[in-house]
Structure 1
């Protein structure tokens, strides 16, 4: 599971990345601070299956019945206008972002950076322009991929009666786009019966844009929302994409304070508490007072909420807990509910086996639902929160 962070330069993407992953990234108030992509591990939150069984268990990623599940987050170089033509680090950005299943568009909601990522007085730039330009760049890049050897493709399909769906999906295979995605878009745009050489410029533009929206869903992280005089901009952004008001800088501060044992705080909490017996110096006191104002204004920092929304609302992923002993809910080492897998909606018991190890899927016999104690087959569709044992003729490894 990979989330890509996209956006123009100098909007706080690297700060968002550092806050979400607790991985150090170079942060600077100038364009192209990020040149090579930063890759780190973040976590999304969901209910642990221990709640259903009303049990407690010692697991570092289960805190009071809330389960944290690892995801990959990639922060790549910022975009500038003309990126699809190679301006700035555009082509590199787009290539690095292509394998992400969902995109978080980090914007400067305070309007304190212009379209090129240069600092300007707060409120003098309209963030709505950033949303449009970044998506246009992504669409133009995808259009270039499609149009590459388009005439050759059209002739081949004419002479060999090839399938348009297969040919187009092959062009986009590196972006994780399959034939089903292409067929769905072609059908909905009534392009399925239209031969490629008859497509006009508008057909191509609409197809690419629709395919991008379907296969690379976007949520807007309205960073620096704490610097806005009001949050009306959030309502405007919501008309385009789901949007969450964020302060990456505040989240980063709170995570550092937690790591240093100063406060009690979990990602996604809407408040924090200074630990008993802690004496703050004036700098720490001022920083935490400011953080409290931000958290109160935004009802949190928005970072964890953005990650959770991307996975569970946009992608509608489900969580399944594989075990090796369905009665004790343990693995072979006796650890209770040791793993949690994020799966696509509609995933089957055999898909779960494949996600654990290909040998389990190859030798799949049946699965056992630990909640119902029933035996289920390979095509059994899993539900969110299921606890499943896989029976296979082949062991892992």
Structure 2
């Protein structure tokens, strides 16, 4: 984590004194200067604004020290690049150790066993079991095809799932996407009455977008031309016509109408 913060602080520090003096003379907002320097790292203006506000800094940017820039980078990291701790090899750790790790301040900790997840996926691929990633259980399809070692291994994994609820791998992904990044899922369709593609696949496309995104944001996500020539969208669930600035909700099914 410190490496990432030091890297961002290094970007901010390049020719900082000269640019900061000029910005102070022009009375430019600090968040504007910081945002411009970090363009390309995926931070939003709101994230930069809140980070500058919440980091105790001198009103004059020219007085900011290297330590100040590092503290600002750390705040920015927590705002725009939050981290999750995947406590891997949880199958080998004691319950007490996992409980202590979960108390680490500022982090979401998810006990995981990547080895167990890989074993289950391989067994499912070999059609020995049925298993849904993130599931709390699995079903053995052909016990006669299992070796004694495989059967013992699966029973050990079953015990872990019974205790933990899952291997934790899928949970890590979902926690990062839906909680830390606060993304939602939107489904674009060609026909608001039939939610399938030409092959009959139901809701074949799903896009992750930031919460608060609008209909035109979804259009751009699907294709730049759809965004540039956006006319309106249709909520396929309610059949209501919505405009470009309509905020989409998690699970919305949208038909995008654009100029040909």
Which segment is superposed worse, 306-315 or 224-233? 224-233
Q: Which secondary structure state, in structure 2, belongs to the residue aligned with residue 361 of structure 1?
A: helix
Find the counterpart in structure 2 of residue 326 from structure 1.
Answer: 192
8 Å CA contact retained: 2:90, 2:98: no
8 Å CA contact retained: 1:324, 1:332: no
Query: Residue 204 in 1 paired to residue 48 in 2?
Result: no
Find the counterpart in structure 2 of residue 147 from structure 1.
Answer: 13
Query: Residue 214 in 1 paired to residue 79 in 2?
Result: yes
In structure 2, stretches of 5+ residues that fail to align are none
Find the counterpart in structure 1 of residue 210 from structure 2.
Answer: 344
Can you list the C-alpha shifts for 1:53-92, whole angstroms capped at 9, x where unaligned? xxxxxxxxxxxxxxxxxxxxxxxxxxxxxxxxxxxxxxxx
Q: What is the CA distance between 1:258 and its match in structure 2?
A: 0.8
Find the counterpart in structure 1 of residue 181 from structure 2.
Answer: 315
Structure with higher Rg: it is: 2
Root-mean-square deviation (CA, aligned residues, Å) is 2.1
Distance in 2 (CA, whole Å) between partners of 1:194 and 1:303 is: 45
Higher helix proportion, which one? Answer: 2
Q: What is the CA distance between 1:334 and its match in structure 2?
A: 5.2
Find the counterpart in structure 2 of residue 164 from structure 1.
Answer: 30
Distance in 2 (CA, whole Å) between partners of 1:353 and 1:334 is: 22
Match of 2:124 among 247, 258, 268: 258
Q: What is the CA distance between 1:194 and its match in structure 2?
A: 1.2
Can you list the C-alpha shifts for 1:287-334, whole angstroms capped at 9, x where unaligned? 222222332333221000110111111122111111111112234665
Match of 1:290 among 148, 156, 166: 156
Distance in 2 (CA, whole Å) between partners of 1:331 and 1:298 is: 38
8 Å CA contact retained: 1:262, 1:274: yes
Find the counterpart in structure 2 of residue 360 from structure 1.
Answer: 226
Once the two structures are superposed, the pairs formed by residues 1-397 of structure 1 within 5 Å of their partners are: 135-189=1-55, 191=57, 194-240=59-105, 241-276=107-142, 278-331=144-197, 335-394=201-260
In structure 1, stretches of 5+ residues that fail to align are 1-134
Distance in 1 (CA, whole Å) between partners of 2:175 and 2:183 is: 10
Distance in 1 (CA, whole Å) between partners of 2:252 and 2:126 is: 36
Can you list the C-alpha shifts for 1:175-217, whole angstroms capped at 9, x where unaligned? 21233321121123364x7121122455333311111000101
Distance in 2 (CA, whole Å) between partners of 1:337 and 1:248 is: 30
8 Å CA contact retained: 2:98, 2:111: no
Q: Which secondary structure state, in structure 2, belongs to the residue aligned with residue 174 of structure 1?
A: coil
TM-score by length of 2: 0.91
8 Å CA contact retained: 1:366, 1:376: yes
Number of aligned residue pairs: give it.
259
Higher relative contact order (CA 8 A, sep 6+): 1
Q: What is the CA distance between 1:380 and its match in structure 2?
A: 0.4
